[in-house]
Amino acid sequence: MEMVMSESMVENTSQVEGRAIPEQTIGDIHVDNPRMTARHVDVFYGDKQAIDNISLDIGVSQVISFIGPSGCGKSTFLRCLNRMNDTIDICQVGGEIKIDEQNIYDPMIDVVSLRARVGMVFQKPNPFPKSIFDNIAYGPRIHGLAASKVELDQIVESSLQRAGLWEEVKDRLDQPGTGLSGGQQQRLCIARAIAVSPEVILMDEPCSALDPIATAKVEELIHELREQYTIVIVTHSMQQAARVSDRTAYFHLGRLVEVGDTKQVFTNPKHELTQDYITGRFG
């Protein structure tokens, strides 16, 4: 009996993987007020294509979630948005990505300044081996955002407040950021990103290493930050995507299959691959 079930499961998985991916993304890739636009983006790692002809708008003061099975390209596409893939020698990016109508792959663009405008929060919290204060102050210092110690103090306090961390750490700012709990470290990294006044915050599975209480705090923070920032989040948790995002984009085998209002995608998906993924038939 167990053998029959196993063979059936393999057959179902094969059938799902073999289904036709639509030639064009289902749903409207456009938004009325885009902060970033991507058009016909391809990504290759050597001879292997990881992203295939993706076009998508990312709206001002919106949260958009990227969902899809492991290896579908969602994190690769996310890393294209602030040129993190530049750090991989064999990676080649084609197409066009703009922020406020400026092509971020223009050879003349300052990548350091771009990454201040488009900040990144990684899957695993990665505070610098510095004090809590210096973790936040690092970006403003190198970008010349504070003209005095008083201004720097204000930036640090404001960033920690917006990250919901100030009351927890205000009396130990000189202690190492690595001494905080996992959830606090992740909020510290979010505060570090906020400190340089970005326009967009990218989050690559920011809660996957956190417990449920810490996850809830980060999700609450995302709700608060959406008023001031555009947020793009990659998540394996469909429940999280449903809770925090305005729009959801479903990726499959390097293609953007479907994008739309989060409620619509989860309650009335228009493609069977999206339907099967969100109902748990594969993933």
Residue 201 lies in a domain: yes
The average confidence (pLDDT) of the chain is: 91
Instruction: Tell me the mean pLDDT in the region 192-206.
Output: 95
227-271: per-residue pLDDT in tens? 899 999 999 999 999 999 999 999 999 999 999 999 999 999 999
Residue 195 lies in a domain: yes
Residues 6+ apart with CB under 8 A from 173: 131, 132, 133, 156
What's the pLDDT at 16?
Answer: 52
Instruction: Tell me the mean pLDDT in the region 167-183.
Output: 96
Residue 79 lies in a domain: yes
78-123: per-residue pLDDT in tens? 999 999 999 999 999 999 999 999 999 999 999 999 999 999 999 9
Residue 17 lies in a domain: no
**CATH number, domain with residue 103:** 3.40.50.300
Residue 19 lies in a domain: no
In sequence order, what DSSP letters do the residues of 29-79 get, joined into one string?
---SSEEEEEEEEEEEETTEEEEEEEEEEEETT-EEEEE-STTSSHHHHHH
Residue 12 lies in a domain: no
Q: Label residue 181 exposed, middle or buried (CB < 10 Å: 0-12, 13-18, 19+).
A: middle
Furthest CA-CA distance within the chain: 73
Residue 2 lies in a domain: no
Residue 13 lies in a domain: no
**How many domains are contained in the chain?**
1
Query: Is residue 19's pLDDT more than 80?
Result: no
Q: Which domain holds residue 212?
A: 26-278
